[in-house]
Amino acid sequence: MSESDTMRAVEVPEAGADFDVVEKPVPEPDADEVRISVEACGVCHSDEMTKEGVYPRIEFPRVPGHEVVGRIDAVGEDVEEWEAGERVGVGWHGGHCFTCDACRRGDFINCEHAEVTGLDFDGGYAEYTVAPHEALAAVPDELDAADAAPLLCAGITTFNALRNSDARPGDLVAVQGVGGLGHLGIQYAHAAGFEVVALSRGTEKKERALALGADHYVDTEATAAAEELQELGGASVVLATAPSAPAIESVVGGLGADGEVIAVGIPGEPVGVHAGALVGVRGSVSGWASGTARDSQDTLEFSALRDVTPEIETFDLGDAQDAYEKMLASEVRFRAVLEP
């Protein structure tokens, strides 16, 4: 249990305001929730939705953070599958209703009433947080808390997108962008047995991409990505991690037969695709959401099994504003993590 009635937390007091480090009461879990003593929380680009108040249902003040790792500190009276002391994580998917049509089909990520951690309820920029029991993933002992935190968003998004694609071991898989998402996508693609191509502007990240498991590196400033992919035989999958519409558009012509561009980085502008480039190869352009708590647990377990870890920079909870600004400016290689 907590040793104090209060805790440090980082709040967004109103839309567009700077983060505010406050002392607030330690939350009590409802009957179907657990309380988590937070050991690490990743800082994600999607936290901008909390910071700027663009999420339609958000209420202020709100504590951001949807890459939460810690230990269960208290358990609601109706929770049966979790116990105090267990290591758990909470990602973007913050719970579901179990009763809507999507939930009745087991499609929890598309629940009509799904909640988002750090948006619908307070997240992990705090010493303690509470979460619904169905939103929890077990965290393997082999993973350090700070390393595990980004896997609950950047990790699950790239891992889940790749494992749900039609690519098979030995197929050509390209990862467009070597950043917070892409550096994990390269590792997962390598561990899955794909022939991996890293696509990035310039040569600054070439050495790192190859060290992470890429078999090929394409400098998209020096050569056309689509042409290079076709020279290699055509991609079964291009995992588009950089939020740039022109970058996504530029790789469509690099698909092989039945190839797919899977967008996980979301541009602010529409992506234009020439249908003829898809028709000729039976190709497609699709998007992928992160996943549920079970998907998060699969990601964590696979990461521990194959030693996939993010490259991180850690910050004290009181430095959340600095961590957030560095993340937005792409000055962190590759993920920022708060340690309360």
Three-state DSSP state, 321: helix
Question: Which domains does the chain carry?
Answer: 6-153+291-338 (3.90.180.10), 156-287 (3.40.50.720)
pTM of the model: 0.96
Could you report the per-residue pLDDT of 41-74, keeping only the tens digit for each?
999 999 999 999 999 999 999 999 999 999 999 9
3-state secondary structure of 7: strand
In one-letter notation, the amino acid at residue 205 is K
Starting at the edge strand that comes first in sequence, how are the strands of the sheet with 284-287 ordered?
216-219, 195-200, 172-176, 235-240, 255-263, 284-287
Task: Identify which of 79, 98, 96, 97 has the alpha carbon closest to the alpha carbon of residue 88.
Answer: 79
Q: Over its length of 340 residues, how does the chain's per-residue pLDDT go in tens digits?
A: 456 799 999 999 999 999 999 999 999 999 999 999 999 999 999 999 999 999 999 999 999 999 999 999 999 999 999 999 999 999 999 999 999 999 999 999 999 999 999 999 999 999 999 999 999 999 999 999 999 999 999 999 999 999 999 999 999 999 999 999 999 999 999 999 999 999 999 999 999 999 999 999 999 999 999 999 999 999 999 999 999 999 999 999 999 999 999 999 999 999 999 999 999 999 999 999 999 999 999 999 999 999 999 999 999 999 999 999 999 999 999 999 999 9
Cα–Cα distance, 332 to 319 (Å, whole number) = 14
Exposure string over 142-177, b if 16+ CB within 10 A, otherwise e: ebebbbbbbbbbbbbbbbbbbeebebeeebbbbbbb
pLDDT for 3: 61
